[in-house]
Amino acid sequence: MSFENLAGVQGDPSAKGSGNAATDKFKHEAVKSDTSKERANAIYTDLLAAIAEVAHKHQITYDEYRVLKNWMIQVGEYGEWPLWLDVFVEHEIEKINYDRHNYTGTKGSIEGPYYVENAPELPWNGEMPMREQDKAATPLIFKGQVTDVDGNGLAGATIELWHADEEGYYSQFAPGIPEWNLRGTIVTNENGEYEIKTLQPAPYQIPSDGPTGWFIDSYGGHPWRPAHLHLKVKNPGYREITTQLYFQGGDYTDNDVATAVKPELLLDPQTDDQGNNVVNYGFALDKED
Ligand code: DHB
Ligand code: FE
* Per-residue pLDDT tens digits of the chain, which is 289 residues long: 333 333 333 333 467 788 888 898 888 888 899 999 999 999 999 999 999 999 999 999 999 999 999 999 999 999 999 999 999 999 999 999 999 999 999 999 999 999 999 999 998 889 999 999 999 999 999 999 999 999 999 999 999 999 999 888 999 999 999 999 999 999 999 999 999 999 999 999 998 999 999 999 999 999 999 999 999 999 999 999 999 999 999 999 999 999 999 999 999 999 999 999 999 999 999 999 7
**Taking a C-beta distance cutoff of 8 angstroms, is the pair 222, 156 a contact?**
no
For residue 112, give the ligand 1 atom closest to its CA. 7
Q: How far is the CA of 186 from the centre of ligand 2 (A)?
A: 19
CA dist., res. 286 & res. 103, Å (int): 6
CA dist., res. 8 & res. 5, Å (int): 5
Q: Is 133 part of a structural domain of the chain?
A: yes
Q: Is 26 part of a structural domain of the chain?
A: no
**Taking a C-beta distance cutoff of 8 angstroms, is the pair 162, 170 a contact?**
yes
User: What is the pTM assigned to this prediction?
Assistant: 0.92
Ligand (nearest to CA of 206):
1
| Furthest C-alpha separation in the chain | 64
Q: Is 85 part of a structural domain of the chain?
A: no
Which residue of 88, 110, 114, 183 sits with most ligand 1 atoms within 8 Å of its CB, as the best mutation to test the pocket?
114
CA dist., res. 228 & res. 163, Å (int): 7
Q: Is 33 part of a structural domain of the chain?
A: no
According to DSSP, residue 120 is labeled P
C-alpha distances (whole Å) from 208 to each of 179, 198, 223 are 24, 27, 6
Contacts 24+ apart (CB under 8 A), 121-126: 121/184, 121/185, 121/186, 121/187, 122/184, 122/185, 122/186, 122/196, 124/187, 124/189, 124/194, 124/195, 125/195, 125/196, 125/197, 126/184, 126/186, 126/196, 126/197
Residue with CA nearest ligand 1 atom 6: 112
Domain of residue 110 covers 98-285
CA torsion through residues 164, 167, 173, 179, sign: negative
> ∠ CA 114-116-117 to the nearest 5 degrees?
150
| Helix or strand run (H / E) with residue 218 | helix 211-218
Q: Is 142 part of a structural domain of the chain?
A: yes
Query: CB neighbours of 204 closer than 8 A, spacing ≥ 6?
Result: 164, 168, 224, 225, 226, 227, 228
Which residue of 225, 252, 257, 259 sits with most ligand 1 atoms within 8 Å of its CB, as the best mutation to test the pocket?
225
Ligand (nearest to CA of 14):
1
Q: What is the per-residue pLDDT for 192?
A: 98
Q: Is 279 part of a structural domain of the chain?
A: yes
Ligand (nearest to CA of 80):
1
CA dist., res. 213 & res. 234, Å (int): 34
Residue with CA nearest ligand 1 atom 8: 112
Instruction: Output phi, psi for 186, to 5 deg.
Output: -110, 140
Q: Which of 141, 243, 149, 236 is nearest to 197 (CA)?
A: 141
Q: How far is the CA of 170 from the centre of ligand 2 (A)?
A: 8
For residue 228, give the ligand 1 atom closest to its CA. 6
CA dist., res. 98 & res. 87, Å (int): 18
- Gyration radius (Cα) of the chain, Å: 21
Q: Is 14 part of a structural domain of the chain?
A: no
What CATH number should be reported for the domain holding residue 280?
Answer: 2.60.130.10
Look at residue 71 and give its three-state secondary structure: helix
**Taking a C-beta distance cutoff of 8 angstroms, is the pair 286, 146 a contact?**
no
For residue 83, give the ligand 1 atom closest to its CA. 11
- For residue 96, with 0-12 CB atoms within 10 Å meaning exposed, 13-18 middle and 19 or more buried, which class applies? exposed
For residue 244, give the ligand 1 atom closest to its CA. 6
Q: How far is the CA of 83 from the centre of ligand 1 (A)?
A: 6
Residue with CA nearest ligand 1 atom 7: 112
Q: Is 169 part of a structural domain of the chain?
A: yes
Number of domains the chain contains: 1
Instruction: Give residues (CB < 6 A) around ligand 1.
Output: 83, 86-87, 110, 112-114, 204, 206, 225, 258
Q: What is the per-residue pLDDT for 14?
A: 61
Ligand (nearest to CA of 113):
1
